[in-house]
Structure 1
Amino acid sequence: MSVDRPSSPDAPLLELRGIHKHFGAARALAGVHFSLRRGEIHALCGENGAGKSTLMKIIDGIHQPSAGDIVLEGEKVVIDGPAHAMRLGIGLVHQEIALCGDATVAENIFMHEVAGGAGAWMDYAALNERASRVLAKLGQDLAPHRRVDELPICQQQLVEIAKALTLDCKVLILDEPTAALTELESAALFRVLHDLKAQGIGIIYISHRMAEIFTHCDRATVLRDGRDALCAPIADVSPDVLVRAMVGRDLGNYFPPKAAPGADAVPLLEVLDIGDGECVHGISFSLRQGEVLGIAGLMGAGRTELAEMVCGLRRTRRGSVRLNGRPLTIGQYGDALRHGIAYLSEDRKAAGVFLEMSVAQNISAMASERVSSRWGLLRRSAERSLGEQLSEQLGIKSAGTSCEVASLSGGNQQKVAIAKLLATNPAVMLMDEPTRGVDVGAKSEIHHLLRELAHQGVGVVVISSELPEIIGLCDRALVIREGLVAGEVPAHEMSEEGLLRLASGLVAKELMNV
């Protein structure tokens, strides 16, 4: 069935009318209305579990609505799968990266051509050249012949975005595209998005980052509990109004008050001239008990590699680590855990949680001694009790601690990963992108949790690509550039421009053009 195409240039490019979606007895969407105009960047906001990803998967044909209509360019359509959506001009960049790890960067970017049967006759030199041009638009010079599984998560995200840019889209959906990107990489992406907007492409932009929404988006729709709670031009709302619509309450102080120890406090953790000869070339820093130390830097600067060396996940070729003044020998991660140093990976899916295991099993996975008898037998009641205790402390939303982690939203999966570390009673926590892919309410909860841990005497290191998070949460910031310390900034001197200047080596005039 079709309807007459509207003639008005302001008529919606895409409309969702009364969309319902149930998964068994669980209701994910309840009568959602949404519209997208040509040449518009439309923000879709909401807490984790509000229904954003489900709605986008319905537009992409991954899920079928239980009720309601999809209208594309004035014509009612039934989208029976992602390939059909692509033919209709709809492209989706998923929050969870969905690339082929054993294929090259270029093959992934043009997978729709390679998978179409042309692979045997493909001119790979030309394919690599085309891939390089697409990546250049995003400010990247990745080698197009590299296998994707050799890349860090941030570069995989850029390949995912580049892949979407090669499609002839009328509608482009981006689900948390900058979650793994630094400020400079995000700026390059937004330049591309504004070019697409000028060409009349409609862009649905899902993000938890308020600064991005208010800088780049034209309208915002908020989902809460599977319903559309607000739709308004960005010019007509404030961040507080948007957040209140998302969470149904005022968040109060988004960042907790800082209470760093004095400069003369005894160091808890000391990292001395550590390096691996590849990504890190001799970095020293100290962490005081009760302090939240931020580590900033661009993609590839060596932030993650530094944390991995400190906790035994990466081989070191120089330097040493001290805890409470005592030299440590850390050959593997188990050694670090025994000494009280825990690490949260930036890649939640691959190294943060066990998706097919329960919430309780995940939380107790690295603290077996807390849930085992003296004969080494698992005590299910202790496992359940520990899971319930930390689930309550972190506000994990689930159907119970016996449910699989795979059934949780991304934000709640992240909370499970953090609870898993807390179960080990660490003295030092190295947190690599602790709020990546987490909604605004959960972010604030995690920020307050980290500050509370600091109040209890835990040393907390936060690696983050979000400069507002570094500035709002941390007592000091260490900026890494090309495997070396580019600068150390106390809380009262932090600014986005100053941190970015140290991270990139740019002068102030150049920063104005980023």
Structure 2
Amino acid sequence: MSQPDASAVLTLKDVEKTFGPVVALKRMSLTVRPGRVHTLLGENGAGKSTLMKILAGVHAPSAGTITLEGRPFVPLSPQDAAARGLAIVFQELSLCNNLTVAENILATREPAVAGFISDRKLIARARQLVEELGLPVSVTARVADLSIAQRQLVEIAKGLSHDAKVVIFDEPTSSLSDSEAEILFRIIGRLKAQGKAVIYISHRMEEIMRLSDDITVIRDGEYITTVEARETTIDHLIALMVGRRMDEIYPPRIGDGPKLHVAPVLAVKGLTRMGDFEDVSFDLHAGEILGVFGLVGSGRSEVMNALFGMRRASGEIRLDGKPATIGSATEAIRHGIGFVTENRKEQGLVLSHALRPNISMAALPRFSAKGFLKPRDECAEARAEVARLAIRTNSIETITGTLSGGNQQKVVLAKWLATHPRVLILDEPTRGVDVGAKFEIYRIIRQLAAEGTAILMVSSELPEVLGLSDRVMVMSEGQVKTITPREELTPERVMSFATGGQK
């Protein structure tokens, strides 16, 4: 699609970026116009993050030209980029957990009186911004006390606290519920009305088609094409993005499915934690995928944390018919429970370590004898899981933090599969990964179920819950509203339960 440069606020022409012999971007071109949402679409590892870091001043381009409002634009730092009119809301949170919401939003720009920071003005300015944006967070709350979704909203407020001509959103809805995402969509609509240019990065195809005016597809670090959203389809975009058609996003069930008439592997009765959830009861069978859906605040993740021993709760838990006391993650692992948390960066991985220790860390007793590690067994397991999950890496000694988001998520899965779990809890298993990596993770989940693993899958994406689950448990305000076979549910019925509209 041809776009006249005269109408552009931001242009990139033949931008390249190399890291030694590695070419991360090549011949990248982009034309972004005011008052429009320009989506950047590509698989994990396609070069989106590198491009965003160049625009934010984290990296300098190796070749090519960038202009902002017709003037050369090569920022020296994120602060320089913001000062020149480009704001970015990163997917990976850049907040200080020990500071308040207000202190994070206005970090390095705190209002001062006589050389001292004015807390009163700081709180007032942050509160004004939060209220204008309609965000349900308190500016005096400590970030460490907020949920992941609330932290993402604070990250958005921090990015929008700058007076920007171009605003970049990098996976802003990856940890937001539908209601919180609607807040963001209203904000984006307001930015468009003000004549701001918005660059949007997301893997959620439905929201891309809803929000976008223009869509640029990149693959393997290279520009593929730009199309208008109204002139394309999701199937066409996926084919452009991954270089192949994916007729079935959700792989079919393998085999006959779970035997719900036999005794359950996991039975939970009356699980209660005051203030979080109450009287949660359900059964989980071998080979079953039990989807768990609920809006933020429904208590779904808190229940998963309690089952894994990370939160104290009353009630009864039985494994294979026998009472189980799970007071810690170590005891949960000993009972054969694995837990892929929603926050892989802080709770799932040690990003500065290689794949090998990340994969083996939860199952070290399997790779040790008399207190000594058996490196040969550890390496063999790591290589086997890398091959099994198709993790894209040159070596099991590659630093995990250098992998794409989709491959990092597979490493988290590999870590728990190395423990040979009987029950596997998946909390947002595809958060922040592209459609190609999602398909591979779905395939893995299906295969695990076919092998007899009992799977609890929490997801904020309703199509994902309905596309993979055998039964669906819907939670609202800390209570289970229904446990229903997937075939008997529609998106509308699930949302009715989740919002308390049905009993």
TM > 0.5: yes
Per mean C-alpha deviation after superposition, the further-off stretch among 125-134 and 87-96 is: 125-134
Q: Would the aligned equivalents of 2:29 and 2:223 in 1 still touch at CA under 8 Å?
A: yes
Distance, in Å, in 2 between the alignment partners of 1:412 and 1:239 is 23
Q: Would the aligned equivalents of 2:462 and 2:491 in 1 still touch at CA under 8 Å?
A: yes
Write the letter of the residue equivalent to 1:441. Answer: G
Query: Equivalent of 1:218, from 209, 213, 217?
Result: 213
List gaps (5 residues or longer) in structure 2.
none
| Corresponding residue number in structure 1 for 2:335 | 339
Distance, in Å, in 2 between the alignment partners of 1:138 and 1:503 is 25
| Corresponding residue number in structure 2 for 1:501 | 496
- Counterparts in 2 of 1:9 and 1:505: CA distance versus 1, 3 Å: farther
Distance, in Å, in 1 between the alignment partners of 2:179 and 2:490 is 15
- Deviations 1:441-494 (Å, cap 9, x if unpaired)? 110111111111111111111111111111111112111111111223321233
Distance, in Å, in 2 between the alignment partners of 1:245 and 1:119 is 57
Indicate whether 1:424 and 2:416 are aligned. Answer: no
| Corresponding residue number in structure 2 for 1:21 | 17
Cα-Cα RMSD: 1.9
Distance, in Å, in 1 between the alignment partners of 2:489 and 2:126 is 38
- Counterparts in 2 of 1:413 and 1:128: CA distance versus 1, 3 Å: same
Structure 1 residue 122, shift from structure 2 partner: 4.3
**Secondary structure in structure 2 of the residue aligned to 1:365:** helix
Distance, in Å, in 1 between the alignment partners of 2:425 and 2:294 is 16
Query: Equivalent of 1:159, from 154, 161, 164?
Result: 154
**Secondary structure in structure 1 of the residue aligned to 2:315:** strand
Query: Equivalent of 1:393, from 374, 388, 396?
Result: 388
- Counterparts in 2 of 1:90 and 1:245: CA distance versus 1, 3 Å: same
| Corresponding residue number in structure 2 for 1:311 | 308
TM-score scaled by length of structure 1: 0.93
- 1:56-95 equivalences in 2 (<5 Å): 56-95=52-91
Q: Would the aligned equivalents of 1:341 and 1:427 in 2 still touch at CA under 8 Å?
A: yes
- Deviations 1:260-283 (Å, cap 9, x if unpaired)? 435423222111111121211221
- Counterparts in 2 of 1:119 and 1:463: CA distance versus 1, 3 Å: farther
Q: Would the aligned equivalents of 1:137 and 1:192 in 2 still touch at CA under 8 Å?
A: no
Query: Equivalent of 1:199, from 191, 194, 203?
Result: 194
| Corresponding residue number in structure 1 for 2:280 | 283
- Counterparts in 2 of 1:138 and 1:459: CA distance versus 1, 3 Å: farther
Distance, in Å, in 1 between the alignment partners of 2:427 and 2:128 is 31
Structure 1 residue 123, shift from structure 2 partner: 4.3
| Corresponding residue number in structure 1 for 2:473 | 478
Distance, in Å, in 1 between the alignment partners of 2:114 and 2:26 is 43
Distance, in Å, in 1 between the alignment partners of 2:366 and 2:289 is 27
- Deviations 1:133-152 (Å, cap 9, x if unpaired)? 43345554322111111212
| Corresponding residue number in structure 2 for 1:102 | 98
**Secondary structure in structure 2 of the residue aligned to 1:284:** strand
Q: Would the aligned equivalents of 2:16 and 2:26 in 1 still touch at CA under 8 Å?
A: yes
Distance, in Å, in 2 between the alignment partners of 1:497 and 1:118 is 53
**Secondary structure in structure 2 of the residue aligned to 1:445:** helix
**Secondary structure in structure 2 of the residue aligned to 1:446:** helix
Distance, in Å, in 2 between the alignment partners of 1:289 and 1:147 is 41
Structure 1 residue 369, shift from structure 2 partner: 2.9
Distance, in Å, in 1 between the alignment partners of 2:116 and 2:84 is 27
- Deviations 1:217-255 (Å, cap 9, x if unpaired)? 111111111001221111222111111111111223210
- Counterparts in 2 of 1:175 and 1:481: CA distance versus 1, 3 Å: same
- Counterparts in 2 of 1:288 and 1:17: CA distance versus 1, 3 Å: same
| Corresponding residue number in structure 2 for 1:143 | 138
Q: Would the aligned equivalents of 2:265 and 2:321 in 1 still touch at CA under 8 Å?
A: yes
Structure 1 residue 506, shift from structure 2 partner: 5.5
Write the letter of the residue equivalent to 2:413. Answer: I
Q: Would the aligned equivalents of 1:342 and 1:430 in 2 still touch at CA under 8 Å?
A: yes
- Counterparts in 2 of 1:26 and 1:170: CA distance versus 1, 3 Å: same
Write the letter of the residue equivalent to 1:97. Answer: L
- 1:450-469 equivalences in 2 (<5 Å): 450-469=445-464
Write the letter of the residue equivalent to 2:320. Answer: N
Distance, in Å, in 2 between the alignment partners of 1:22 and 1:118 is 46
Query: Equivalent of 1:185, from 175, 180, 183?
Result: 180
| Corresponding residue number in structure 2 for 1:268 | 265
Query: Equivalent of 2:358, from 323, 345, 362?
Result: 362
Indicate whether 1:54 and 2:50 are aligned. Answer: yes
List gaps (5 residues or longer) in structure 1.
1-7, 508-514
Distance, in Å, in 1 between the alignment partners of 2:486 and 2:55 is 44
Write the letter of the residue equivalent to 1:458. Answer: T
| Corresponding residue number in structure 1 for 2:441 | 446
Query: Equivalent of 2:240, from 245, 251, 273?
Result: 245
**Secondary structure in structure 2 of the residue aligned to 1:111:** coil
- Counterparts in 2 of 1:350 and 1:260: CA distance versus 1, 3 Å: same
Q: Would the aligned equivalents of 1:60 and 1:79 in 2 still touch at CA under 8 Å?
A: yes
Structure 1 residue 321, shift from structure 2 partner: 0.7
Q: Would the aligned equivalents of 2:284 and 2:454 in 1 still touch at CA under 8 Å?
A: yes
Query: Equivalent of 2:290, from 272, 288, 293?
Result: 293
Indicate whether 1:328 and 2:324 are aligned. Answer: yes
- Counterparts in 2 of 1:128 and 1:480: CA distance versus 1, 3 Å: farther
Query: Equivalent of 1:492, from 487, 496, 499?
Result: 487
Structure 1 residue 117, shift from structure 2 partner: 5.8
| Corresponding residue number in structure 1 for 2:35 | 39
**Secondary structure in structure 1 of the residue aligned to 2:361:** coil
**Secondary structure in structure 2 of the residue aligned to 1:113:** coil
Distance, in Å, in 1 between the alignment partners of 2:60 and 2:482 is 51
- Counterparts in 2 of 1:32 and 1:506: CA distance versus 1, 3 Å: farther
Structure 1 residue 102, shift from structure 2 partner: 1.5
Write the letter of the residue equivalent to 2:458. Answer: I
| Corresponding residue number in structure 2 for 1:5 | none
| Corresponding residue number in structure 1 for 2:379 | 384
Distance, in Å, in 2 between the alignment partners of 1:159 and 1:408 is 26
- How much identity, in percent, do the aligned residues show? 42
- Deviations 1:69-106 (Å, cap 9, x if unpaired)? 11111222221111111111100011100011111011
Distance, in Å, in 2 between the alignment partners of 1:383 and 1:136 is 52
Distance, in Å, in 1 between the alignment partners of 2:170 and 2:393 is 22
**Secondary structure in structure 2 of the residue aligned to 1:364:** helix
Q: Would the aligned equivalents of 2:55 and 2:74 in 1 still touch at CA under 8 Å?
A: no
Write the letter of the residue equivalent to 1:67. Answer: A
Number of aligned positions between the proteins: 498
Write the letter of the residue equivalent to 1:369. Answer: P
Distance, in Å, in 2 between the alignment partners of 1:211 and 1:483 is 28
Q: Would the aligned equivalents of 1:28 and 1:51 in 2 still touch at CA under 8 Å?
A: yes
